[in-house]
């Protein structure tokens, strides 16, 4: 059985933290994009003259 040292826990924690710092902003951007994409038809009902010529993806972008 291999000896597990404190340095192993430190390096594991560092890798997990790095992955979280990379993936959190990406996942947050995806969630916000999807919310805007799903909410754009609701906005189109309120202001149908403006949003009829623009696609939902253009509004989300």
1 band by pLDDT with thresholds 50, 70 and 90: low
pLDDT tens-digit profile of 7-53? 999 999 999 999 999 999 999 999 998 888 888 766 655 555 555 55
pLDDT, position 56: 65
Supply the DSSP string of 1-61, one letter for each residue: -PPP-HHHHHHHHHHHHHHHHHHHHHHHHHHHHHHHHHHHHHHHHHTHHHHTSS-HHHHH-
């Amino acid at each position: 059985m291999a000896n597990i040292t404190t340095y192993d826990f430190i390096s594991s924690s560092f890798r997990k933290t790095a992955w979280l710092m990379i993936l959190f902003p990406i996942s947050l951007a995806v969630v916000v994009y999807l919310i805007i994409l799903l909410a754009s038809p609701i906005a189109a009902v309120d202001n149908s003259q403006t949003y009829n010529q623009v696609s939902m993806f253009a509004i989300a972008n």
